Structure 1
């Protein structure tokens, strides 16, 4: 299934999945594989965004890898505006789905269900 989400939304989902992985919740192998496969697909989809973001920072921060609002408010604001613009761009990702029935019998925190919600098919 293909999904279209903004780069910001994909980054958020990626962080949720990484957090879920650290929780070491035991799931069926097929489900776990789909989650890892989706994590990799999201990381690949975000590569152009991450490269662009890093380039924006480097160019507007005078070659530095970061800039603070306190040290250079003008550059900081320009960087934020430019990053916000590309963060809203949509990316398409091919994801693997999992069936709700595959995880229905598992006790999982709401944060885990939220992290997986975009890949869950009811049934």
Structure 2
């Protein structure tokens, strides 16, 4: 794994641990979803499992790749950083083949408020260095 890929994975694990910690406010926990984010060809995978509704379990690497998920977002590695910075429109990325979703589109759309919170947390980590 390259340094960029390792840094992306580390940041996303931090972001997901911050954002997916409260059953009162987190959509993944409320809806009891498991969600995987795959970044190819960077070979980065991070999974958020909120299926118990109480606390999210965050995994990465092979464990995240092989565990079943309700939703899987596959994002082109060359736009990963820009996506998490909020500089990429998800609909345009889908139309350009840079983003694909496996699973229920309705469930994916329900996560859109969380995406903005995750992007804000990611930007904060980037600013911290």
TM-score category, normalised to shorter length: 0.3 to 0.5
Q: Identify, as 1 or 2, the structure richer in helix.
A: 1
Max Rg structure: 1
Q: Identify, as 1 or 2, the structure richer in strand.
A: 2
Q: What is the TM-score normalised by the length of structure 2?
A: 0.33
